[in-house]
Structure 1
Amino acid sequence: MTGPLPDVPEVRVVGLPQLTSGFDLVERLDLAMHLKVHGPLDPVGGERLAALSDEISLRGRGGAGFPFATKLRAVAQAAIKRGVRPVVVVNGSEDEPACRKDTVLINRGPHLILDGALLAAEALGARTLIIGVTRDSTEASMTAALAERGLTDRRGSALRARVQRNPARMVTGEASALIRSADGGPPLPPGRRVRAAESGVGGAPTLLSNAETFAQLAVAARVGANRYRATGLFDEPGTVLLTLSGDVSRPMVVEVPTGVPLRYVLQLAGAPPLPQGVLTGGYHGSWLSATAAHDAVVSRASLKALGGSLGAGAVLPLGNDTCPLGEALQVANWLASESAGQCGPCRLGLPAAANGLADVLNGGGPAALEALREVTRAVRGRGACKHPDGSANFLASTLAAFPDDLAAHVLSGGCGRETRALLPLPGAGHQDPGAPSGERLAVDWTLCQGHGLCADVVPELIQLGPDGFPTVADAAVPLALRGVAQRAVRRCPALALRLERTGTGAAADRPARAALPSPPGRKALDSGRG
């Protein structure tokens, strides 16, 4: 396939459906149809819910694979210790172009997700539920689902529930970015590690997991651990949702029991019989060779043992008629553009890595390859979030997975194949919020009095020095932070902060607006505050 994936691609099932039950009957299960298909669900006590999660070996399905029971117990203990009500957050922010499983669940079976989230909220005594989304379709479906259950965000409700809409960006799906936006801040990682189980939304202990995880919990609570474990592998029971795209004839989301051979799933989607490589885990994942893909089964352990990754469940095969390094370069450029612009390894390192791969493809030889490897190593472990690490892992895996193509480009000037753009990326017209806005924050030091409000409003760009005055070493403003930068300018009581054009970026591309005349009867020096 070429071009971006639709929000809701074709859905298929291998074996008996669990998460996708009822999808063959209607396009979307409203509450009435949901109850007909799945039946009612009784509350489960906190420790019993944790024990159930342990018995079915439930791990987060958003990529990290953290044990759900451990997270649940940690939130409960922190809430009891501090004497506060915890918060439950469903992460439905699926912003990677190769992933659609959570989007499909929210669009077609939102009440299964809500079942799991409400089970956890009841068990923990939470009084706040937040569902993070980034698409028009998921926002509409989840808003409707809350209304169907009579759940609102009105003060005084037994459970306040709301949908948190964020921009569709790679970094907004990171847990700390979702928590930060739920608190009214920018949907960006804060640049420091904070355990949500101890201090999340509003500083309260927060249980945050992705949409599929809560749906799996709801299935297990209905059928019981023994019946749930009857499907799939002994050590990884149940089913998995995978998104199949890349060089396939039918992009799809498929529900499959763990233990099914990966080659069968690829065949189901119409992948080449002998792909030159299969990207597993999405654009922060790793490549499998054709041999490894033939031997792998769908499970976290199997894929990891063969050098792959289950991650967020994206699987992307590549046939032999496209240049894999050219395909990887397009992804690397997109990953670099998704930087939040908050830290050097991301803002500078990822574009440098993408440019390094381009140099290799353009005949830079061994020196270009060594420079690429050096910058990839330098990015790891130094970012404000996991985006630089995941992007570096993708590039390192690409170099390791295609040695013959790499040798052809480094030593012979190319592999002789065109790049078919088979790996899905956002379509034309996508405005990258991580791109520069063409403006920078500047301080008029003759006016600055060191109030420090600017550092509170936009800490991503401005910090306070030892003397209490702002330090603005490099305050280039990305599109994602332009609104909050404008707020910082408006809030400066000394009027010492301003936005300046840099000559490049989105602002520079816009035509200058004509000066507006003053309204009649209004003095030029009026405050004009309104």
Structure 2
Amino acid sequence: MNPVPRPALGCVGQPRLLAGLDTAPRLDRAGHLAVHGQVPAYHVDELVELTEYIDLRGRGGAGFPFARKLRAVTRSARAREGGRTAVVVNGSEGEPSCLKDTALLLHVPHLVLDGALLAAGALGAEDVVVGVTRQDVEQSVRAAVAERGPAGRRVRVTLLPERFVTGEGTAMVRGLDGGPTLPSGQKVRTSERGLGGVPTLLSNTETYAQLAVAARLGGAEYRAVGLPAEPGTLLLTVGGATVVEVPTGTSLPYVLDLCGSGPGQGVLVGGYHGRWLEPGAARSAALSRQSLSGFDAVLGAGAVLPLPEDTCPAGEVARVTRWMADESAGQCGPCVRGLPSLADAVENLVGGGGRAALEGVQARMRAVRGRGACSHPDGTSAFVASALAVFPEEFRDHALGSGCGRRVLGALPLPADENPERLVVDWTLCKGHGLCVDLLPDVVRLDADGFPAQGVMPVPGRLRPKALRAVRRCPALALRIQE
């Protein structure tokens, strides 16, 4: 099994969520209390007032006001006989460009549990469930629950399948209830009917951690950092590898520079359902809802992905589009047929499909918009549309057959194939024709003499058809696929 990535950590200014990690790699219960102290109890009305005053919003992508969620759960519970409620921590990060919630659950899990238990106490919720998708994260959270002794017994930790759609609210709830971890397609809010059919407060990991910080600091001190209209700090995953805590309003180019990068050819903000910023926009953008809205972008789940100068933008977009199509829930036509067709159209364009290929991509995007049981088709279509708008010359040149001449370096992170097939060279037959590198430039490298630089090369699943073509077309019959 391939090792799962563990993020590097950084901060701008004084950390809040990541406080204490300069002296310890993980804060156990004692270390957590030494850094943060006990969290006070709040009545539900007080908690609503606090979260409304600091404008706490969901940090999982949608940015929904947390106070409105609290009110909705309270209202639904009062309308039901018995008034039962539940609290769910969405610890799923099905997108490989996001690691901020993973960082919290691996390094400061007690901060997240504090926020969830604080909300549960205010709502009178009996069930607190943490849904995760990584085994190391599950182990960290279970250890934190055990460290709390009897107080942790009301918390349940559940390992769910690692998929892009696992984090969708209804998919998360269905999975935690023992069903398929797939979107229900029904327009029912979890605040009305969620875990076990009861009103459920569902929010992501960072949101609960921010709640725990705010409860300790109080509204006025929490608002002392960040922008007046968007107070506090936020977590970002930069380049799919580094998690940084920054005050809201921090300059985007400053954060990129801190992480050893720059805008490059452009910056994808908000992850694979996000938007591309061209380099000029990235240099003037700040990390706030107001600033990014001016570029038709949102922070989403906090992923910031600069595209280096030495990779092919069109090829990078094509490989992510294919992965997004493969991550379909498989329940409705726009996902089952529409997204694979969109990925085919993008690959056809990048492969030199001519002017008609551009029209084909546009047609496929129109075919999936607004028709899915969840937001996955819309988000994937928006990702492609944004790329076409920011890299128009790149896609035009590829469609017309000239291309950019750069390799696809995998700058946009995707999960590695656990058991990739391999392209194997028979050195007794190879004559150095070089046709293999023409068909598989992302797999085969040639040495100074024009022969493959390696005798065994892993083949990503998405490139298997091209690898088979290379095997068939090798004039010397020197290639084979090995599982």
TM-score normalised by the chain length of structure 2: 0.84
| Contact kept? 2:351, 2:401, Cα under 8 Å | no
Pick one of 376, 380, 385 that aligns with 1:387.
376
Match of 1:254 in 2: 244
Match of 1:104 in 2: 103
Of 278-287 and 377-386, the range deviating more from structure 2 = 377-386
**Cα–Cα, structure 1 residues 239 and 284, in superposed 2: closer, same or farther, change >3 Å?**
same
> C-alpha distance in 2, partners of 1:319/1:143?
39
Verify: 1:325 aligned to 2:325, yes or no. Answer: no
Q: For 1:103-148, what per-residue CA distance to the aligned partner results, in whole angstroms no more than 9, with x for missing partners? A: 0000000000011111100000100000000001110011111111
- Partner amino acid for 1:191? G
- Partner amino acid for 1:398? A
| Contact kept? 2:129, 2:156, Cα under 8 Å | yes
Match of 2:200 in 1: 206
**Cα–Cα, structure 1 residues 78 and 18, in superposed 2: closer, same or farther, change >3 Å?**
same
Pick one of 169, 172, 182 that aligns with 1:175.
169
Which runs of at least 4 in structure 1 moved beyond 4 Å after TM superposition? none
Verify: 1:263 aligned to 2:239, yes or no. Answer: no
Match of 1:233 in 2: 227
- Partner amino acid for 2:371? R
> C-alpha distance in 1, partners of 2:316/2:100?
23
> C-alpha distance in 2, partners of 1:5/1:397?
32
- Partner amino acid for 1:238? G
> C-alpha distance in 2, partners of 1:413/1:201?
54
Match of 2:394 in 1: 405
Match of 1:128 in 2: 127
Percent identity of equivalent pairs = 56
Residues 69-84 of structure 1: pairs in structure 2 closer than 5 A: 69-83=67-81, 84=83
| Contact kept? 1:275, 1:320, Cα under 8 Å | yes
The DSSP-based 3-state class of the residue aligned with 1:348 is: helix
| Contact kept? 1:89, 1:206, Cα under 8 Å | yes
- 1:13 Cα shift? 0.7
| Contact kept? 2:275, 2:296, Cα under 8 Å | yes
- The CA RMSD measured in Å over matched residues stands at 1.5
- 1:202 Cα shift? 1.1
- Partner amino acid for 2:171? A
The DSSP-based 3-state class of the residue aligned with 1:311 is: coil
| Contact kept? 2:265, 2:308, Cα under 8 Å | yes
- Partner amino acid for 1:340? A
> C-alpha distance in 1, partners of 2:286/2:29?
35
Q: For 1:471-520, what per-residue CA distance to the aligned partner results, in whole angstroms no more than 9, with x for missing partners? A: xxxxxxxxxxxxxxxxxxxxxxxxxxxxxxxxxxxxxxxxxxxxxxxxxx
The DSSP-based 3-state class of the residue aligned with 2:24 is: coil
Q: For 1:275-301, what per-residue CA distance to the aligned partner results, in whole angstroms no more than 9, with x for missing partners? A: 111000011111001011000011122
| Contact kept? 2:325, 2:335, Cα under 8 Å | yes
| Contact kept? 1:198, 1:205, Cα under 8 Å | yes
The DSSP-based 3-state class of the residue aligned with 1:66 is: coil
> C-alpha distance in 2, partners of 1:78/1:223?
30
- Partner amino acid for 1:369? L
Of 44-53 and 141-150, the range deviating more from structure 2 = 141-150
- Partner amino acid for 2:335? C
- Partner amino acid for 1:92? G
User: Which runs of no fewer than 5 residues in structure 1 stay unpaired?
Assistant: 154-158, 432-530
| Contact kept? 2:12, 2:247, Cα under 8 Å | yes
The DSSP-based 3-state class of the residue aligned with 2:31 is: helix
- 1:366 Cα shift? 1.6
| Contact kept? 2:353, 2:400, Cα under 8 Å | no
Pick one of 325, 343, 353 that aligns with 2:332.
343
| Contact kept? 2:308, 2:411, Cα under 8 Å | no
- Partner amino acid for 1:265? V
- 1:416 Cα shift? 2.2
The DSSP-based 3-state class of the residue aligned with 1:315 is: strand
> C-alpha distance in 2, partners of 1:57/1:332?
34
> C-alpha distance in 2, partners of 1:430/1:100?
23
Match of 1:163 in 2: 157
User: Which runs of no fewer than 5 residues in structure 2 stay unpaired?
Assistant: 421-483
> C-alpha distance in 2, partners of 1:97/1:293?
22
TM-score normalised by the chain length of structure 1: 0.77
> C-alpha distance in 1, partners of 2:12/2:376?
32
| Contact kept? 1:170, 1:338, Cα under 8 Å | yes
**Cα–Cα, structure 1 residues 164 and 277, in superposed 2: closer, same or farther, change >3 Å?**
same
- 1:429 Cα shift? 0.9
- Partner amino acid for 1:259? G
The DSSP-based 3-state class of the residue aligned with 1:82 is: coil
| Contact kept? 1:242, 1:314, Cα under 8 Å | yes
> C-alpha distance in 1, partners of 2:171/2:3?
24
The DSSP-based 3-state class of the residue aligned with 1:393 is: helix
- 1:152 Cα shift? 8.0
Residues 218-229 of structure 1: pairs in structure 2 closer than 5 A: 218-229=212-223
The DSSP-based 3-state class of the residue aligned with 2:89 is: strand
Verify: 1:374 aligned to 2:363, yes or no. Answer: yes
| Contact kept? 2:353, 2:401, Cα under 8 Å | no
Residues 415-426 of structure 1: pairs in structure 2 closer than 5 A: 415-426=404-415
Match of 1:26 in 2: 24
- 1:199 Cα shift? 0.4
The DSSP-based 3-state class of the residue aligned with 1:132 is: strand
> C-alpha distance in 2, partners of 1:151/1:82?
29
| Contact kept? 1:288, 1:307, Cα under 8 Å | no
| Contact kept? 1:75, 1:207, Cα under 8 Å | yes
Q: For 1:314-364, what per-residue CA distance to the aligned partner results, in whole angstroms no more than 9, with x for missing partners? A: 000012221101001110111011112111101111110111001111111
> C-alpha distance in 1, partners of 2:220/2:142?
34
> C-alpha distance in 1, partners of 2:86/2:7?
32
- 1:183 Cα shift? 1.3
| Contact kept? 1:281, 1:310, Cα under 8 Å | yes
Match of 1:493 in 2: none
> C-alpha distance in 2, partners of 1:193/1:365?
41
| Contact kept? 2:158, 2:176, Cα under 8 Å | yes
The DSSP-based 3-state class of the residue aligned with 1:17 is: coil
| Contact kept? 1:12, 1:252, Cα under 8 Å | yes
Match of 2:474 in 1: none
Verify: 1:140 aligned to 2:103, yes or no. Answer: no
- Partner amino acid for 2:369? R
